[in-house]
Amino acid sequence: MGFSDNISRNVTSKVFPVFILILVLLFLSSAITANAAALKDATMSGWISDAKCGAKMTGYCAKACITSGEKPVFITVAKEVLAIANPDATKGYEGERVTVKGSVEEGKLTITSIALNPPKK
């Protein structure tokens, strides 16, 4: 066993775990992207906010920003921000907690129906 065998073994023992980690991350990211990219006829709860503030603000701030020209976005319960393909569907729901039905394609939500969530008791 020579000097080059030790170097080869050292490099292999350090590179292989990194290679496996990269493969796992690639698999997970593709699975998440595929899931988010093709939601059809989904029902989701969340709220309508504005693109500038996203998940940071609700209520009056979202209404004011959308009125002044910011685009509305849908914030999921998990605080994922989704652009809205048909923003006119959100009129009157700015800053409100809602349940939407629709589909998500390429990161954009197309809303087919929207309703206010009842207040928590």
The radius of gyration of the chain from alpha carbons, rounded to an integer in Å, stands at 22
Q: Enumerate domains of the chain plus CATH numbers.
A: 38-116 (2.40.50.430)
Q: What single letter denotes the amino acid at residue 16?
A: F
The phi-psi region of residue 106 (left if phi > 0; otherwise alpha if psi is between -120 and 50; otherwise beta) is: left
Mean pLDDT of the chain: 81
pLDDT band for position 82 (cuts 50, 70, 90): very high
Residue 36 has pLDDT above 60, yes or no: no
